[in-house]
Amino acid sequence: MQTSKTFSIIFFTRKSRSHVGKLSIYARITVNGKRSEISLKRSVLSKDWDRAKSRGRGYSNRTRVLNQYLHQSYNQLLDCQKQLLQEGKIVTAQSIKSRYLGEDDNHKILKELVSYHNSNMTSVLKFGTMKNY
């Protein structure tokens, strides 16, 4: 039996709460129907956004810089997905988001935590207690 995994990245906008007439730009990662959204911390005027293409509209310098940034963000998200596949980890929308934001490196496995605990507690605990660990 062959399983198919879906993966997509789209850019979309929402009305900015702080700036009237501006739209905040977000990236939505979808893996097997599960979504996760990332704020790109960029905004654009509503007249400069093309909803059909999910890109900036026009040829101004500001729009070109924005479109380059969106292209770069898209490639970084793809790289995060490829890295997770190469490492043999489970690819989810949340894991790609964590990798993109740099939040996934701090997780330790249980074996590492137990060995860290044992090395620090050797001087504190007596032999009879340590043998149970």
pLDDT, tens digit (0-9, with 9 covering 90-100), for 5-49: 899 999 999 998 877 889 999 999 999 999 999 999 999 999 999
| Residue 2: inside a domain | no
In a domain, 119, yes or no: yes
Maximum Cα interatomic distance, the chain, rounded to a whole number of Å: 74
- Using pLDDT thresholds of 50, 70 and 90, give the confidence band for residue 83: very high
Predicted TM-score (pTM) of the model is: 0.74
The neighbour count for residue 80, using CB atoms within 10 Å, is 20
What's the domain range around 63? 7-102
User: What distance in Å separates the CA atoms of residue 26 and residue 50, rounded to the nearest whole number?
Assistant: 14
Question: Do both 56 and 114 map to the same domain?
Answer: no
Quote the number of domains for the chain.
2
The answer to whether residue 53 is domain-embedded is yes
| Residue-wise pLDDT tens digits, 42-66 | 999 999 999 999 999 999 999 999 9
Residues 51 and 113 in one domain: no
Q: Residue 54, by phi and psi: left (phi above 0), alpha (psi -120 to 50) or beta? A: left
> Is 62 part of a structural domain of the chain?
yes
| Whether 71 and 124 share a structural domain | no
| Average pLDDT value for residue range 91-99 | 94
Task: Give dist(CA 46, CA 37) in Å, integer.
Answer: 20
